[in-house]
Amino acid sequence: MAKLGVNIDHVATLRQARGTVEPEPVLAASMAELAGADGITMHLREDRRHMQDRDLALLRDTVRTRLNLEMAPTQEMVKIALGVKPDMVTFVPEKRAELTTEGGLEVKLAKDELNKYIRLLQDGEIAVSLFIDPNIDQVKSAHKVGADYIEIHTGRYAEARNRKEEEREFNDIVNAVKIGSKLKLGINAGHGLDYWNIKRLLQITEIEEYNIGHSIISRAVMVGMERAVQDMVEIIKTGSTKNF
């Protein structure tokens, strides 16, 4: 069965909106783990718009499953990761004006830099994943630069406006996953996934973990963190939304 990584960034978004001390991302992470999450994901952005360095340090001390740190591939961020030692680093592109990550890394265009940072992290016993679009060239480039994992960007699939678009995006994901699997890359997926659109992706058995944040945190506002995580775990486990 695929695993669930819960991204808790938007707990920090709520906190930062008021500039106060609550809600507490560390507490949210603990509740997610107790509810069945297999890992915790957080994105430490260069602009620190939501998660802060303090959050990363506390999460490293308290997460009991796996801590996945999303970050930009920069010297500053690599230095932070080597100091904190998350279980995994996922390199993602960043733009200061974006509301959320808009697409995958252009791996081929930054291959030398990525290879250098990947080696540094791996030497520090940190697994490295690259967040990429479901594109065969990007998958092959991720393999060439030495990544341990890829995370397939599912945003275009999640935002498909009709069945035709969804079919095209789904097929792109399937093809990218198949190539990644043949290249012996670990395969994760995430971005824009919710309690309904994840169901079809569960057919792709090579996907090892889904990283989901916004939809879980949004549901948690209404029903609580424990229920929101348990519901997603159940869907991943059964492939069914009939009880949801």
Mean pLDDT of the chain: 95
Residue of 10, 43, 50, 153 marked active site: 43
Confidence of residue 99 (pLDDT cuts 50, 70, 90): low
Cβ neighbours of 110 (radius 10 Å):
16
Q: What is the pLDDT of residue 4?
A: 98
70 noted as active-site residue = yes
Confidence of residue 97 (pLDDT cuts 50, 70, 90): low
Tokens of 244: 């949801």
- Residue 243 predicted with pLDDT over 90: no
Confidence of residue 66 (pLDDT cuts 50, 70, 90): very high
Residue of 10, 50, 70, 153 marked active site: 70
Q: What is the pLDDT of residue 94?
A: 85
- Summarize the confidence of residues 9-37 as an average pLDDT: 96
- Residue 40 predicted with pLDDT over 60: yes
Domain ranges (residues) in the chain: 3-238
43 noted as active-site residue = yes
191 noted as active-site residue = yes
Confidence of residue 211 (pLDDT cuts 50, 70, 90): very high
- Residue 190 predicted with pLDDT over 70: yes
Residue of 10, 33, 191, 209 marked active site: 191
What is the rounded CA–CA span in Å between residue 86 and residue 97? Answer: 27
What is the rounded CA–CA span in Å between residue 93 and residue 142? Answer: 14
Q: Return the closest-CA partner of residue 153 out of 130, 185, 137.
A: 130
3-class SS letters over the chain: CCEEEEECHHHHHHHHHHCCCCCCHHHHHHHHHHCCCCEEEEECCCCCCCCCHHHHHHHHHHCCCCEEEEECCCHHHHHHHHHHCCCEEEECCCCCCCCCCCCCCCCHHHHHHHHHHHHHHHHCCCEEEEEECCCHHHHHHHHHCCCCEEEEECHHHHCCCCHHHHHHHHHHHHHHHHHHHHCCCEEEEECCCCCCCHHHHCCCCCCCEEEECHHHHHHHHHHCHHHHHHHHHHHHHHCCCCCC
* More confident call, 54 vs 97: 54
Superfamily of the domain at 3-238: Aldolase class I (3.20.20.70)
- Summarize the confidence of residues 165-182 as an average pLDDT: 98
